Amino acid sequence: MRSDAANPDVQVAIASSDDVVVARQKGRALALEIGFTASEATLIAAAISELARNIVRYAGAGEMLLRDDGNGMLLMVARDRGPGIPDVKAALRVGFSTSGGLGMGLPGVRRIADVFEIVSNGAGTTVTVGKYKR
Amino acid sequence: MAVPILKQGDVLIASIQSALTDVDLVMLRDALVEKVSAYRTRGVIVDVTALDVVDSFASRTLRDLAHMIRLRGAETVIVGIQPDVAFAMVQLGLTLENIATALDLEEGLAFLARANRRR
């Protein structure tokens, strides 16, 4: 059964670059706890770092929810009530950025994800990323 | 958390002690670029052994740092990228193109010594 963000194992409020580090460290710990390898846990921590940074950069504040779905998948949900992503397709293109970045963050996360979904509108953005254990 | 920057001969060594925030990384970049001039440095070593993650922002900041320092006339070597971190960087499509890397501090110092002999 696919779980959602309703009952997360870890929930981190994101409003600063310190929170980004807290979120990725908690994500790494959860990944190791549920049996991901150290390499995979580092990859998951990097993905969380990208998602959480985007919250700070584009929405100012939001939250990261992390959950073990019980079937070998770690779900990472980044949720904010920011202005939304004007062009989701463009945001997933390598090299595209509206903030002066290199446009490597979100495309990289999508590349490593087994589940990847973005819901974005004027009421906010929710990015859901799932990663299976190998 | 501020990163200690040590001076050894004409080399500056920035030894990262823990996970760094984006703000910390930018401060490190700016501090190194400034100190290169202040101390008439020939080479800079950034030891990232303790860095938990190198994501798009970290790899970009390390690249910017190395390019800025090159424009100031010194060489930079990034040392200590851990195997798991290297794995994640490759998976995410992140590179440190045109940036010198070395296994550890010792190799980094040897690289800078060779680079300085050449000029």
pLDDT tens-digit map of B59-116:
999 999 999 999 999 999 999 999 999 999 999 999 998 899 999 999 999 999 998 8
Whole-Å CA distances, B5 to A38, B44, B47, B114: 29, 10, 10, 22
Q: A80: number of CA atoms within 13 Å, CB side?
A: 24
Among the partner-chain residues B23, B85, B88, the one whose CB lies closest to the CB of A17 is B23
Indicate whether this model's pTM tops 0.95: no
Residues of A with CB under 8 A from a CB of B: 16-18, 20-21, 24-25, 28, 38-39, 41-43, 45-47, 49-50, 53, 94, 101-102, 104-105, 107-109, 111-112
Q: Are the CB atoms for B45 and B13 separated by under 8 Å?
A: yes
**Between B21 and A102, where is the model more confident?**
B21
Chain B contact set for A102 (CB, 8 A):
56, 60
Cα A3 → chain centroid: 16
Task: Say which DSSP state A55 is in.
Answer: I
Smallest CA-to-CA distance from A81 within A45, A119, A114, A131 is with A119
Q: Does pLDDT of A3 surpass 50?
A: no
Q: Return the structure tokens found at A79.
A: 């949720």
Indicate the Cα dihedral angle A1, A11, A26, A122, nearest 10°.
90
Q: Which residue of A has its CA nearest to B86?
A: A39
